[in-house]
Structure 1
């Protein structure tokens, strides 16, 4: 309620919930979108998320459609589910407004999973982009779609957050204790809202460093719409301020 009263757009990244809970939220303000997660086709997804999760997600997507709430499905791309992505997108064709993926950031619980091999990634992007031509729910999010499109002399997309990487630029992560991070996917503290104003945090030197990205990207002509993913690079043990995202194939 407080966020709505202050004029913020509201969106939810979460799990399925009962109709009455959504209707309670809609009475405050209709969400701009509701994003849920799938980890692959039914067998793999339910292995990761628990028995019955796959079907609950699809039922919930139907409820969101009924309530006229824009739905999004996010997949964390791993070595185990890469070959299931396009088939899953086909199942979602008429069930969600938007489907996309993020590469695994091997941080926290993500350290227990295996990332896609960097040498396999460009061909996967090619297959995904080709399939997306005939599937309107498939969205291009990963910044490296712009590298692929650059090589093909195609128009750029907005990348991960509209302008390449949005860390400390057009998003931050606020924790319950007031700590502010540049990105929710990696430890990236830039201040504390309990002791600083948001303007002070946003214009701090450390926030500027996150916005500048890696020095290894500074001479790349597509840097404004790319920059790789610092969270992924961090998971590979890279210095995110000086080294390339290991998936870069320029």
Structure 2
């Protein structure tokens, strides 16, 4: 199913009045194949017809394009809120007034450090010009924010920057990491190390708690770190919000200067261009099922390293796609700049080479319900020990981390040794159900239940739950009745646990 797109980034020009040392696009002069005003305005109408809610106009430097305000105005006319990312150099009172008249929602200005560092990275005098542009925009009634790109060169400045921005009246601040692409490839040695991602997240969390400036983490920063989740929840105004994977081609897309449509403007190689609006309507490009397949069909089993088996892999899908490409060198590379990935990698370094010690570590992780680490410990042990205990622990860890195909393989090994192994049948049944091989799964759960010894009601419990979740209520009631008859000592407890089922 193709989702309704919500937002987009549109690089309206490749022209730029700066030569930033960390620019991901290496922008200089406008290119001859940029969309004409007429083409751009038609695209605005198509964006409205597609039901877009927001769009970010960027570049290059969008204000170097003379008709930027006409584009913004046409977007507003078609029900799409235009936001702008600018370096602020050209923003005057007149420009701010034009933005307000065009219905611009938010203008984000890039500020990458205190004055000396910012001017070094961008252009002498740019910090002062950007600071003044914030005032012009606020005076015009436009919401503003600041975006900071972080490398090792300005990481330790964040505290001072925060105080300066608060003094300047900045109310919103987005943090993102510099990635080794474009101009920044020449400075890739200043890319943050995996260990420094938590430094940024910790800073954002502490800033959030202070509540003096609203802070946001860009999509390239995360994931599944408690503090990072709290920051996202605060900014989203939703206590259940968390990272759900790259939205490219799912809820968002990018528009290049010439009308090429991509999933993300940072991922622009020819093989990722899904069409061009000069040749095909935006609606047809978006709705073509084979388009954006690299992300629409992304699954964690296509990823590598820790990402391939990660507990959160089915939600996260490896985090930011551009991070994997620019740092890992491949769309399916492991995302080593993920907070959770780094935590797991650090823990994996503690795993012993001694088999007995490693077994003890696996047992300890199991007691702690740290199934991620049980999985990695068992993965190392399995070549040396295929005992029933190890296979069962490994299968449990595979199931609990969502690695259902692996869980099936491991339970099959258990059942090859003992076809009536109750735990193996139960585990196989549950994993098959997760893989939507429902009838096979139920058959194994049924067999496990029938073979379960007195007092061991887990197979029946799982069998009932699966049937209940499938909406097969009458079957679930019948299985509950059989369980109570077979395990009389547990009958009352089963009745209490499945009280809702009994009452239906």
What does residue 281 of structure 2 align with?
A: 197
Which of the numbers 42, 45, 50 marks the counterpart of 2:123? 50
1:223 CA displacement: 5.0
Cα 1:66/1:173, change in 2 over 3 Å: same
Unaligned runs of 5+ in 1: none
Task: State the alpha-carbon separation in 2 of the partners of residues 213 and 136 from structure 1.
Answer: 39
Structure 1 residues 223, 89: CA separation in 2 closer, same or farther (over 3 Å shift)?
farther
When residues 59 and 248 of structure 1 are mapped into structure 2, their CA distance, relative to the original with a 3 A threshold, is: same
Query: Are 1:244 and 2:334 an aligned pair?
Result: yes
- From the superposition, tell whether residues 156 and 53 of structure 1 become closer, same or farther in structure 2 (CA, over 3 Å): closer
Report the Cα offset of residue 59 of structure 1.
1.6
* Higher-helix-fraction structure: 2
**Using the alignment, how far apart are the partners of 2:265 and 2:140 within structure 1?**
29
Deviation track 1:108-132 (CA, whole Å, cap 9, x = no partner) reads 1121222101122223322331133
Moved more, 217-226 or 12-21: 217-226
Q: Does 1:77 align with 2:154?
A: no
Does the 8 Å CA contact 2:166/2:213 hold for their aligned counterparts?
Answer: yes
Please tell me whether residue 22 in structure 1 is matched to residue 96 in structure 2. yes
Q: Secondary structure at the match of 1:184?
A: coil
Contact 2:325-2:333 at 8 Å conserved across structures: no
**Residues 87-142 of structure 1: CA deviation (Å, up to 9, x unaligned):** 21221125222111111122211212221011222233223311331144242324
Aligned counterpart in structure 1 of residue 197 of structure 2, from 121, 126, 145: 121
Structure 2 unpaired stretches of 5+:
1-72, 237-241, 341-504
Alpha carbons of structure 1 residues 212 and 135: separation in structure 2 relative to 1, 3 Å: farther
Structure 2 SS opposite 1:200: helix
Deviation at 1:205, TM superposition (A): 2.4
The structure showing larger relative contact order (alpha-carbon pairs under 8 Å, at least 6 residues apart) is 1
Residue 221 of structure 1 is matched in structure 2 by: 312
Cα separation, partners in 2 of 1:65 and 1:222, compared to 1, 3 Å: farther
Describe the SS at the equivalent of 1:111: helix
2:175 is the alignment partner of 1:101: yes
Instruction: Measure, in 1, the Cα distance between the counterparts of 2:208 and 2:280.
Output: 44
Q: Does 1:233 align with 2:324?
A: yes
Partner SS state of residue 239, structure 1: coil
Any idea what SS the aligned residue of 1:173 has? Answer: strand
Aligned residues: 245
Secondary structure of 2:98's match? helix
Q: Which moved more, 1:201-210 or 1:94-103?
A: 201-210
Contact 1:4 1:10 in 2 (8 A): yes
Aligned-residue offset at 1:57:
1.4
Displacement of 1:146 in angstroms is: 4.4
In structure 2, do the counterparts of structure 1 residues 46 and 156 end up closer, same or farther at CA, with 3 Å as the change threshold? closer
Residue 217 of structure 2 aligns to a residue whose secondary structure is: coil
Structure with bigger gyration radius: 2
Instruction: Determine the C-alpha separation between the residues in 2 that align with 1:111 and 1:58.
Output: 28
TM-score by length of 2: 0.44
For residues 1-57 of structure 1, the C-alpha deviation after alignment (integer angstroms, 9 at most, x for no partner) is 332322221111113211112212322x32110011011111111101111111211
Instruction: Describe the superposition over 1:149-191 as per-residue Cα deviations: whole angstroms up to 9, x where unpaired.
Output: 17x9858536xx9854222233222123221111112324222
In the alignment, the residues of structure 2 paired with residue 77 and residue 199 of structure 1 have an alpha-carbon distance, to the nearest angstrom, of: 36
Kept in 1, the 8 Å contact 2:254–2:264? The answer is: yes
Partner residue of 2:53?
Answer: none
RMSD: 2.8
Q: Distance in 2 between matches of 1:54 and 1:214?
A: 43
2:78 aligned partner: 6
Match of 1:90 among 163, 182, 207: 163
Alignment map for 1:61-76 (pairs within 5 Å)? 61-76=134-149
